[in-house]
Amino acid sequence: MVSSTIENANPATRISWANFLLCFVDWFEPDQGTMVIAGAGHNSSYRRDVLMQYSADLEYRLASERVLHMELSAKGFQIYLAPEARTYHLNLAKLKSYLEHSFLGGRVFGSFRSQTWHLTHKIVYILGAPLIPVVRLKRIFTQLNTPQKRVKSLFWSSLPLIVAGLVCHACGEVIGYAFGAGNSQLLYTSFELNRRQHLLSDELAATWE
C-alpha cells in the first residue's frame, strides 16, 4: 500500500490550514520516504487482494480509513509514504463547516475505533478525552519539524483555530465511544463529497482557473 504526500490546495486562510493540519499533517512534506502506520485517507492506493479480504464489509471499513490502516499495520501489512507522489487537497475554509467537520470526524473515528472494545476500555478513553487535544497538538508541532514548515502552514496564527478543532474532534470521539456513529458517517461524507460548498468565493474562482 502506498500513500501520497498531501499539500494544501487552498492555502490562503488560517481556517484552511487548521483543517489541513488536523487531517493531513502526518503526510505533509516528509523529510524522506518512510513506512507509516496509516496513509492519507482517500489519497492512498491499495493492493486489490488486501481490500478483497473484507469483501462485503469493505464499504463500512473504508468509512474510517485511519482505523482500517491501523488494523492492516497491526496485521503486518506495510504502508509506504512516497514523497514523489503528491496530492493537492482542498480544505474547509468556513468556520462553522470546519468545526462541524471536526466534530463529525471525531465521532466517526471514535465509533469505529471502539467497536470491539469492552465497556471498561471505553470508559477509560472517555475519562481521558481532555488529554486528546494536548496529545494531538504536540504531535502536530512535532510533525512541523522545521521553522519553514511552521511558517508555510501558518501554524502560530492558526493555533487558536487548531485548538478549537481538536477540542471539537475530541468531543466527537467521546460521543462515538459512548453512543456510536449515529448519522455522523452520512453527514461527514457530505463534507467530503461536496467540499466546494465549504470554500470561500475567491477560492472557488481560483480552483476553476
* pLDDT one-digit tens code per residue, 78-119: 889 999 999 999 999 999 999 999 999 999 999 989 989 999
Task: Give the residue numbers spanning the domain of 88.
Answer: 2-207
Comparing C-alpha atoms, which of 106, 72, 60 is closest to residue 3?
Answer: 72
Q: How far apart are CA 173 and CA 180, in angstroms?
A: 9
Q: Which pTM value belongs to this model? A: 0.87
Per-residue pLDDT, 171: 98
Per-residue pLDDT, 41: 77
Per-residue pLDDT, 207: 58
Number of independent structural domains in the chain: 1
H or E stretch at 59: helix 58-62
Q: Report DSSP state, residue 10.
A: S
CA dihedral over 63, 66, 68, 69, signed as positive or negative: positive
User: Which ranges of the chain have pLDDT less than 50?
Assistant: 209
Per-residue pLDDT, 52: 83
Backbone angles phi, psi at 81, to 5 degrees: -90, 115
